[in-house]
Structure 1
Amino acid sequence: MRVLLKEILDCSPDAAWRALRSPAVFREVSSPVVSVESLEMDGFPTIWEPGEHPVSLTALGLVPMGDQVIRLTMATTRRDGVRILRDTGRGVSGPLASVTLWDHRMAVAPDPAGTGKTLFRDQLIFRTGALTLASWPVFWALWQWRLHQLKRLAPNWSLDLGVDEPAPADADSHGSGATS
């Protein structure tokens, strides 16, 4: 089954790309419907990197959904400026283990209308065996919630740009101009 969404987000593509790679944003857009906790030794990274990231999910803060491995790849070199974050992870335990196919792609690109905003596309392809048809409304509703949250948060993302960028090497050597 497939859930497909498309929306213009009120932020730049760079801000949207940074937000999509943020575990904090992932947790915020899922909350309070789904709570996500990292199972990595050091907890969530500041920014997702390609690779596997184990998590534990709880529905509505009460119902354990099981553990999942988020397996991320990123495509950032397309000539058309589209950047894609792809998760092909898998459920490991609990109800999540019933998911036999998980292919989640989120793409950001400049708004074709030239507004400076972001064209956001979100596609989930999944299978849950005999429960696939029954699972579709649940995933559809969750994806609608996530999109609502993304739209609500997007205007503030530009304020976060650069917070994780290292300071230039010469920043300390020049100081603030004050003398002692």
Structure 2
Amino acid sequence: MRVLLKLVLDCEPDAAWQALRSPAVFRQVSSPLMVFTSLDEEGFQETWSEGEHRVAAKAFGLVPAGEQIIAIRTEERLDHVHGKHESPTRVRIVHDTGRGLSWPLTLTKHWHHRMAVSAQSDGRTLYRDQLEFDAGALTPVLWLAYWGFWQWRAVAIRRLARDW
């Protein structure tokens, strides 16, 4: 199942790209619904490095929601707009293909979160966010929870982007 966001952000693409790779921004757009703590020995760094990062999650900062791996990979590509005579658009993408390590996060069996940024003609940023996940029979129920959380993130991302 999928959860999608498509937003135009009031910031430059380079600033949005830096924000997407920031654990601090990840924590800001998740809070207070979900509060994440790094379980890596060195803690959260300034920028996500490629690879796996172990975190603990608490709902509203109080209720343990389990531990998970955030598995980061970045990609850059050129997208061609069909039917237009414009240059290809540079798209930068952060992929998270992590997994839950403890209950209830282990209910989700497949997780692929993509966040992409590209330039708009007016200098602002096109931000696309897609979560694909599978939790078996619980997928529709979790979709509601993830959809609500993604709406929360959208509000926070729009608000924060003005200062990136």
Contact 2:37/2:55 (CA < 8 Å) preserved in 1?
yes
Residue 126 (structure 1) aligned to one of 124, 133, 143: 133
Number of residue pairs matched? 155
Q: Within 5 Å, which residues of 2 pair with 1:65-76?
A: 65-76=65-76
Residue 88 (structure 1) aligned to one of 84, 94, 97: 97
The runs of at least 4 consecutive aligned structure 1 residues that moved more than 4 Å come to none
* SS of aligned partner of 1:81: strand
Shift of 1:80: 2.5
1:134-160 deviation digits (Å, cap 9, x = unpaired): 111100000000011000000101xxx
Q: Which amino acid aligns with 2:106?
A: A
* Partners of 1:90 and 1:52 in 2: CA distance: 10
Q: Of Structure 1 and Structure 2, which has the larger fraction of its residues in strand?
A: 2
Q: Which amino acid aligns with 1:94?
A: W
* SS of aligned partner of 1:18: helix
Shift of 1:118: 0.1
Q: Within 5 Å, which residues of 2 pair with 1:3-22?
A: 3-22=3-22
* SS of aligned partner of 1:43: coil
* SS of aligned partner of 2:58: strand
* Partners of 1:58 and 1:87 in 2: CA distance: 19
Q: Within 5 Å, which residues of 2 pair with 1:133-152?
A: 133-152=140-159
Q: Does 1:33 align with 2:42?
A: no
Contact 1:50/1:71 (CA < 8 Å) preserved in 2?
yes
TM-score (norm 1): 0.84
* SS of aligned partner of 2:37: strand
Structure 2: segments with no counterpart, 5+ residues = 79-87
Q: Does 1:101 align with 2:106?
A: no
* Partners of 1:115 and 1:77 in 2: CA distance: 21
1:89-137 deviation digits (Å, cap 9, x = unpaired): 00000200111010000000001xx110000000000111211011111
* Partners of 2:30 and 2:57 in 1: CA distance: 10
Identity in percent: 54
Shift of 1:76: 2.1
* SS of aligned partner of 1:76: strand
Structure 1: segments with no counterpart, 5+ residues = 158-180
TM-score (norm 2): 0.92
* SS of aligned partner of 1:69: strand
Shift of 1:77: 4.3
Structure whose CA Rg is larger: 1
Q: Of Structure 1 and Structure 2, which has the larger fraction of its residues in helix?
A: 1
* Partners of 2:136 and 2:106 in 1: CA distance: 11
* Partners of 2:92 and 2:123 in 1: CA distance: 16
